Amino acid sequence: MAEIELPDVEELEEARGKRFTRRVALTTAIYAVLLAITSLGGSNSMKEMLLAQQQSTDQWNFYQAKNLREGFARNQKEMLELVLIERGGAMKQDAREMYGALLRKAANEETRYRDEKKPIADSARKLEKERDVNRDKDPYFDYGEVLLQISIVMASIAILSGALPIYLFSIVSASTGAILTLNGFLMIFRIPFFH
């Protein structure tokens, strides 16, 4: 009869430990990839928020410049109206016509500046909404990044200690971080204390 060799208990324990270590190491690499994606998403969200804020501010400054020009044109129009009311009857016909032309020009400029302000204000409000969306996304990336970093540390501790509960904790932490990251990109749900 053939002899059956039983495996050494220590060799079995070592092989099991190596499988666990490889599995945790592979999982840690996946955590690192998720962390890189999360970091990129957070960085882009912050850049987009700052850019939208800057562009919105530029639009509001442009709006204010149009508003000042509209006010200047209105003041000019009112001054010309007063001159015509006060001295219009005593003026020569040529002077009265010239004042009338200046009055129409000032009124047209006032109307033009008033009409030009609306699209500028709409653009500024649109940029503010974009800024707000990116501001709302940022905390999800931040917390996702923290949880993924914790997961990497916990997985490293699991490799060193061979403790399955620590490894499972790292999986839960990484899963939560991944969900927060996904939500940072898609904004599927809102967590009230993040905003």
The predicted-structure confidence for 131-151, as pLDDT tens digits, reads as follows 999 999 999 999 999 999 999
Exposed, middle or buried by CB within 10 Å (0-12, 13-18, 19+), for 99? middle
pLDDT at 87: 87
pLDDT at 8: 60
pLDDT at 89: 84
3-state helix, strand, coil in the chain (%, to 5): 90, 0, 10
Domain boundaries, the chain: 9-189
Instruction: Judge whether 28 and 152 are in contact, CB under 8 Å.
Output: yes
Residues of the chain with pLDDT under 50: 1-2
Instruction: Judge whether 102 and 6 are in contact, CB under 8 Å.
Output: no
Q: Cβ atoms within 10 A of the Cβ of 188, count?
A: 10
Rg (CA), the chain: 35
Side-chain half-sphere of 146: how many Cα atoms within 13 Å? 5
Instruction: Judge whether 132 and 190 are in contact, CB under 8 Å.
Output: no
| CATH number for the segment(s) 9-189 | 1.10.287.950
Terminus-to-terminus CA distance in the chain, angstroms?
75
pLDDT at 194: 85
pLDDT at 3: 58
pLDDT at 102: 94
